[in-house]
């Protein structure tokens, strides 16, 4: 494929992924891995994340391991946690060892935990694609990171942690304009809703609904920040038992 044609094909693919990521992933799965790479390798990392999240893990892993290691590690850490764990399982042992060497130990531990989450639990829907800053950072650092995001990708909350990654609070993106850019993050943050990964989606949804919140931080028993979850990603409650419930009874 010559360069102008490839650029056009990639541009069309990017539009397709943005408009319908699940349909785009399904269509790309039917192509050979090298053909998928020709189309998506030039795209922004955020677009790769949107494409690989709904893709079958075996295919997504085959694509990801052919990207440069730094690009691959960035994309992996921004996938939904459960999908990232599935990709790690699908990698060959040598590649798993290679990419593990450039990932944070805390993230690797999170992927091990992800295998225990079921589709009725909060951790199954957790995402790590979020803006996290330390309490001693200046608000200007948050603003600069937000500037690089498209409008539809702006988060509801920016997460604030201490140096040991313990959750300290959050800053609502909509309220940043009301603060001085030179403010220290710790002085302008607010308490942020939080849940633990192993509680049920129904319980978490009720808690968030009562607080009139959509997004919560996910923390472990030691208050270490793990990711974010949006209650609208939870399955809707029905009167019928899910396949998961039937299998685990």
- Inside any domain, residue 240: no
Q: How far is CA 35 from CA 18, 28, 38, 78, 132, in A?
A: 19, 9, 5, 23, 35
Quick one: pLDDT at residue 238?
A: 41
Residues 175 and 217 in one domain: yes
> Which parts of the chain register pLDDT below 50?
238-249
Residues 19 and 89 in one domain: yes
Residues 151 and 209 in one domain: yes
Quick one: pLDDT at residue 2?
A: 56
- Inside any domain, residue 247: no
Residues 29 and 100 in one domain: yes
Q: CATH number of the domain that 190 lies in?
A: 3.10.580.10
- Inside any domain, residue 28: yes
What lies within 8 Å, CB to CB, of 99 at 6+ separation is 65, 69, 72, 73, 76, 88, 91
Residues 75 and 132 in one domain: no
Residues 90 and 168 in one domain: no
What lies within 8 Å, CB to CB, of 131 at 6+ separation is 142, 145, 146, 155, 158, 159
Residues 34 and 102 in one domain: yes
Residues 11 and 111 in one domain: yes
List, as one string, the DSSP characters of the chain: --HHHHHHHHHHHHHHHHH-HHHHHHHHHTS-HHHHHHHHTTS-HHHHHHHHTTS-HHHHHHHHTTS-HHHHHHHHHHSBHHHHHHHHHHS-HHHHHHHHTTS-HHHHHHHHHHTT--TTBGGGG-B--S-EEETTSBHHHHHHHHHTS-GGG--SEEEEE-TT-BEEEEEEGGGGGGS-TTSBHHHH-B---EE-TTSBHHHHHHHHHHTT-SEEEEE-TT-BEEEEEEGGGSPPP-SSPPHHHHHH-
Do 167 and 193 touch, CB atoms closer than 8 A?
no
- Inside any domain, residue 179: yes
Quick one: pLDDT at residue 240?
A: 42
Task: Encode pLDDT of 156-167 as tens digits.
Answer: 999 999 999 999
Residues 14 and 77 in one domain: yes
Instruction: Confirm whether pTM is higher than 0.85.
Output: no
Q: Which domain holds residue 62?
A: 3-115
- Inside any domain, residue 107: yes
Q: How far is CA 197 from CA 13, 114, 204, in A?
A: 34, 9, 9
Q: CATH number of the domain that 28 lies in?
A: 1.10.220
Residues 155 and 218 in one domain: yes
- Out of 81, 115, 149, pick the residue that ends a domain: 115
Residues 21 and 64 in one domain: yes
- Out of 115, 139, 159, pick the residue that ends a domain: 115
- Inside any domain, residue 152: yes
Quick one: pLDDT at residue 46?
A: 86
Quick one: pLDDT at residue 242?
A: 46
Residues 17 and 60 in one domain: yes
- Inside any domain, residue 39: yes
Quick one: pLDDT at residue 211?
A: 94
- Inside any domain, residue 120: no
Quick one: pLDDT at residue 151?
A: 78
Domain total for the chain? 2
């Amino acid at each position: 494929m010559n360069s102008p044609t490839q650029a056009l094909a990639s541009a069309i693919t990017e539009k397709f992924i943005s408009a319908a990521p699940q349909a785009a992933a399904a269509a790309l799965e039917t192509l050979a891995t090298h053909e998928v790479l020709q189309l998506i390798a030039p795209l922004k990392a955020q677009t790769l994340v949107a494409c690989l999240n709904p893709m079958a893990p075996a295919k997504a892993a085959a694509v990801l391991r052919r990207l440069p290691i730094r690009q691959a590690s960035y994309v992996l850490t921004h996938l939904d946690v459960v999908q990232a764990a599935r990709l790690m399982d699908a990698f060959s042992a040598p590649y798993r060892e290679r990419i593990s060497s450039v990932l944070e130990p805390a993230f690797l531990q999170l992927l091990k935990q992800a295998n225990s989450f079921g589709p009725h639990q909060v951790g199954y829907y957790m995402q790590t694609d979020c803006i996290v800053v330390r309490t001693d950072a200046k608000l200007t650092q948050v603003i600069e990171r937000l500037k690089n995001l498209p409008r539809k990708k702006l988060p509801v909350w920016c997460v604030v942690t201490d140096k040991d990654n313990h959750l300290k609070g959050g800053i609502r993106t909509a309220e940043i304009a009301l603060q001085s850019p030179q403010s220290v993050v710790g002085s302008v943050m607010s308490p942020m809703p939080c849940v633990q990964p192993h509680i049920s989606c129904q319980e978490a949804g009720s808690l968030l609904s009562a607080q009139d919140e959509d997004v919560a931080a996910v923390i472990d028993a030691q208050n270490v920040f793990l990711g974010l979850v949006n209650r609208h990603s939870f399955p809707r409650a029905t009167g019928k038992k899910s396949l998961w419930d039937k299998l685990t009874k």
